[in-house]
A and B are shown apart, each in its own frame.
Chain A
């Protein structure tokens, strides 16, 4: 089933109970909501550190490689989720190990990524289900997600979240101040590799929901908004997860009643939230710095 755009599903009733019943009446919708929930929690939490560590580009790189992996799995007759997870984690090991050498090598990295996309296209052409699978991998097809894939996704997400919790404090320390952290005995290199592995799982999860080309939005937009809204890392992660859940659920619900794809709604809502938060906090910041300048002027 190519279900990313739904036909009519009755009409929105303004009665939340009736709407909820209609939304969750069918198995594929329950699967979609569950997968969206898993992906949003993981991406919201992991995204906080992606933004803090300036790893947006690495996350984007992983989506390209995930696409190649997903299409490779399709070629082998497997579910794309295995190829996604397999390729992104392998690539994460490479990125983690070569992080220092790759810095400032934009052309090399860019060429590898483009080649990954090219391979993905080749794999898909070689396999039979060209257009549907391409569409699903590039732009997401959460409404077509099977229960088996959902289980794999949830399992990987639980492991990734547990790992994030386990390395929380040293990761925060290394993200804010890697030199002091290293001097204090934090294994910064090991943490860097471990964290990119966690990002790989988040990328695979986000790709399942909104596709490889848009996955970065779910990882970066809620986290970046949350960082502008909070001053404590614990609260920041909670707000990031809440925003990711809100845009994902709202996106799936909107796609249920309106004839447009889930990915479009999720990405657009994430962008709107991000833009609004940015505009609001920018005004607040200008006022704060004016106050400071005034205070400094008085003091001098």
Chain B
């Protein structure tokens, strides 16, 4: 199935297996789950939640630097 991942304003479409979890999508774009909070619209998602086809998720980067 296809989902859209937004990170720092940049949207990327990725292919993930059926019943993929949030953590699978985060790892697919080489982001450490420790460094982001995931949202679907206004809802905060846990890493173990299952995604649906055409879901759009937003990754909010929380690692500081500087």
Q: Are A and B interaction partners?
A: no
**Residues on A close to B: CB < 8 A?**
none
**Residues on B close to A: CB < 8 A?**
none
